[in-house]
Structure 1
Amino acid sequence: MPDVQSMVLEFVNKLRKRKIEGSQATARCTVELLRSVISHHRVPHANQASALIDAVKAVGAQLVAANPVELAVGNVVRRVLHIIREEDLSLATAAVAGFDLLDASDDDEDVNGKGIGYPGMSAAVVAAAARSTLRPPSLQTLLEGTPESATVPYTSSSGADSESKSKSADKSSVTRKLKHDVIEGVNQLIHEIAGCHEQIAEQAIEHIHQNEVILTLGSSRTVLEFLCAAKEKKRSFRVFVAEGAPRYQGHLLAKELVARGLQTTVITDSAVFAMISRVNMVIIGAHAVMANGGVIGPVGVNMAALAAKKHAVPFVVLAGSHKLCPLYPHNPEVLLNELRSPSELLDFGEFSDCLDFGSGSGSPLVQVVNPTFDYVPPSLVSLFITDTGGHNPSYMYRLIADYYSADDLVM
């Protein structure tokens, strides 16, 4: 795959040079690249799902290594792997149930335009059965009976001996069917990532009420669309925006809010605790949501979360499903963070004497630390609003179990 390999190398260079900013843009580009990898990959007749999984994992490992801090890359790679496992199990479930997947209907089309369908059983039903089988057991599922079809192992050689010749002739059709279903699932994932802002914004009317004061920090398109959606529903409220030094992303958000007609007040980061008593709710965007319900966001959000906790102000986090990370944060302040240039904080001309190596100690007299992200523990978060609805921090593990397979957590 020379063309695909060049695309992978080009995207890896963009990740290393930080030419792609934002979790949504990174996630969308990653999924589109993986779709190209799947469509151009030659799948063998045997172990089609394993071949696709190995190909996606090989590319995903390169992408994650290029920028480990951008967790959205690893998230969507795991989502694509979960789609492959889900579609493979869907085909296996239909085969065990006795359906002939190779009987094509003229209405359904595969990648090559040939009809392939499920006689008597819709693909949605089979996919739902596959999802329920992949989902980890809960208290509810432990009390329910297990269908007999779910207990029957799937083998490629099942069936009568008289059908062995026809099966060997139809292996290529099964391969096309698997790739077609996987590509359809990936296309649905791309559509989900592209529309996550609108789905989150539709819930704004349920959380923002009349004459409220909202505090936010940094610049987030999700927060912007969420607040503007509430105003379009005739909600009258005011927004306090912390400037988010040293990058001052809050200034950009304030300009966009004013352009949309919202009453906006810009405050310094140090004034958050002084103004929090006048605020009804804190709403922020997230860089990533960890498996324990913790949040990685722009630097300064932990300060705002502590102030909100002190004054019993709800702390709400907006995040699309592509930001749900199945990893647990072990020392997130160091491992899941990156330091930016000291020039954003100090002028080298004024502090050149302090930055010189003095007294033969081998280190400068002034240390400049400029982190990009901040970590908020789940105990400080009141509510998560995702494109699937509002959830408590303790429910994040359940969403992650629905989106990812346990075999793909470690890449």
Structure 2
Amino acid sequence: MSPSDAVVQDLDEKHVDLVAKFVSDVRNGKIEGSNNIALATVTLLEQIINESDNTTVIGLCSVVRAAGRLVCGALPGAPCAANMARRVLRALRDEARADGDASLARLVRPAPRRSTTALNEDLREPVREHVAELRTELEGTAAAISSQAKEHVQADEMILTYGASRLTERFLRSARRYRLLLAEGTDVAECHGMAARLSAAGVPVTVLGAAAACAVMSRVNKVVVSVEAALAGGAALGAAGLHAVTAAAKHYGVPVVALCGLHALSPLHARDPAHLNSLLAPHPALPYQMAASGLAHVYAPRHDLIPADNVTLYITNLGGSSPSYIYRLLSELYDPNDYTL
């Protein structure tokens, strides 16, 4: 039986509680940012693997898939969590294949006569090494992306960004001398804080309302934003309001550079955005003190779906990639059997 044919077993009650606590921390804002969520997911999966009773490849794949399925269903707006389950599953499969090849090599040789099949070996220790490498990759994501800033932002360019993002801020700090237009996102205070920090670092910053982004787009050389996820087919999942900014950039022929770590590359498609989104509190869109708040039902989506045609280039840990190349990166990161957990 291959790992793909194994029946997904239920998690122990203790592990279900761990997953529930992780989901609660993400929903309550204790864990914020796709990179931090990915790191927390890796830690969660590592603990489940270490405490698993069945340490064979089939048993470990089963519990990792079960945990990934729970997280994927509870956090549709954070695909990076499910992506980490897919990365760990890929590591398990690679180890099983490597051990299987070694066992086959031993079988065709005259000695030793006894060999252990890969499906029955304890894979916890090799997987710990893969998890450690994955954690190192996640911790170095921001540095790897920021190191490419000078290649994409030229001197004296007019750059426009949308909303506040730690990754975008670090990327812009590493770029050459330029001028920045910062369009306010949903969190106005965070946007002004980011503008103040960049201004203190010597960057000429102008803050404008999101509605004004289209009006100034003709003067912009490049749009630089970070996205929550890059989906199969090249579409992106970005902050609410980003779709309008990228649509204006496409209209004026302005390149859109999307910053996206490898942990945010998702094999999901953009067929149904509802499965990739979640809702924010409605009061930023319609304050409670307004008379209409008692009569209206307000839906404030957390993310916007950005069509692949609106993105010019993705910058990942490995360098720049066009939206049409995302499928190739997905095949290197995940096993096709794990696209659906």
TM-score by length of structure 2 reads: 0.89
Whether the aligned pair in 1 keeps the contact of 2:79 and 2:264 (CA below 8 Å) is yes
* Aligned-pair CA distance for 1:268: 0.8
2:23 to 8, 12, 34: 12
Aligned pair in 2 of structure 1 residues 244, 92: CA closer, same or farther (>3 Å)?
A: same
CA distance in 2, matches of 1:390, 1:404: 19
Whether the aligned pair in 1 keeps the contact of 2:57 and 2:121 (CA below 8 Å) is no
Whether the aligned pair in 1 keeps the contact of 2:99 and 2:118 (CA below 8 Å) is no
SS in 1 for 2:150: helix
Aligned pair in 2 of structure 1 residues 271, 171: CA closer, same or farther (>3 Å)?
A: closer
* Aligned-pair CA distance for 1:171: 8.7
CA distance in 2, matches of 1:162, 1:297: 57
Are 2:324 and 1:394 equivalent residues in the alignment?
Answer: yes
- 2:3 paired residue number: none
2:236 to 295, 310, 314: 295
Are 2:341 and 1:407 equivalent residues in the alignment?
Answer: no
Bigger CA drift: 59-68 or 297-306? 59-68
Aligned pair in 2 of structure 1 residues 369, 11: CA closer, same or farther (>3 Å)?
A: closer
- 2:263 paired residue number: 322
CA distance in 1, matches of 2:27, 2:225: 27
Are 2:67 and 1:59 equivalent residues in the alignment?
Answer: yes
CA distance in 1, matches of 2:14, 2:152: 48
Whether the aligned pair in 2 keeps the contact of 1:247 and 1:344 (CA below 8 Å) is no
Are 2:98 and 1:90 equivalent residues in the alignment?
Answer: yes
* Aligned-pair CA distance for 1:5: 5.3
CA offset digits 1:285-310 (Å, max 9, x no partner): 00111001001101121111111111
- 2:152 paired residue number: 207
- 2:215 paired residue number: 274
CA distance in 2, matches of 1:34, 1:386: 24
* Aligned-pair CA distance for 1:3: 6.1
Identical counterparts, % of pairs:
34
Are 2:107 and 1:190 equivalent residues in the alignment?
Answer: no
Aligned pair in 2 of structure 1 residues 7, 278: CA closer, same or farther (>3 Å)?
A: same
SS in 1 for 2:174: helix
CA distance in 2, matches of 1:18, 1:62: 19
Whether the aligned pair in 2 keeps the contact of 1:214 and 1:282 (CA below 8 Å) is yes
* Aligned-pair CA distance for 1:34: 0.7
Letter in 1 for 2:334: Y
Which consecutive unaligned segments of at least 5 residues does structure 2 have?
A: 1-11
Whether the aligned pair in 1 keeps the contact of 2:90 and 2:333 (CA below 8 Å) is yes
- 1:228 paired residue number: 173
Please identify runs of 4+ aligned residues in structure 1 that moved more than 6 A: none
CA distance in 1, matches of 2:187, 2:64: 38
SS in 1 for 2:254: coil
- 2:4 paired residue number: none
Equivalent positions of 1:6-405 (< 5 A) are 6-43=17-54, 48-98=56-106, 158=107, 166-167=114-115, 175-176=121-122, 178-230=123-175, 235-245=176-186, 247=188, 249-332=190-273, 334-351=274-291, 354-356=292-294, 364=295, 366-405=296-335
CA distance in 2, matches of 1:347, 1:227: 33
Letter in 2 for 1:56: V
Letter in 1 for 2:71: L
Letter in 2 for 1:344: P
* Aligned-pair CA distance for 1:11: 1.6
* Aligned-pair CA distance for 1:316: 0.5
CA distance in 2, matches of 1:406, 1:74: 14
CA distance in 2, matches of 1:56, 1:246: 35
SS in 2 for 1:296: strand
CA distance in 1, matches of 2:49, 2:13: 14
SS in 1 for 2:224: strand
Whether the aligned pair in 2 keeps the contact of 1:16 and 1:66 (CA below 8 Å) is no
Aligned pair in 2 of structure 1 residues 335, 56: CA closer, same or farther (>3 Å)?
A: closer
SS in 1 for 2:279: coil
Which consecutive unaligned segments of at least 5 residues does structure 1 have?
A: 99-157, 357-363
CA distance in 1, matches of 2:283, 2:320: 40
* Aligned-pair CA distance for 1:160: 7.4
* Aligned-pair CA distance for 1:15: 3.3
CA distance in 2, matches of 1:159, 1:97: 6
* Aligned-pair CA distance for 1:14: 1.9
Letter in 2 for 1:42: D
Aligned length: 330
CA distance in 1, matches of 2:207, 2:236: 24
- The alignment's C-alpha RMSD in Å is 2.3
Structure 1 or 2, whichever has the larger Rg, is 1
Letter in 2 for 1:43: N
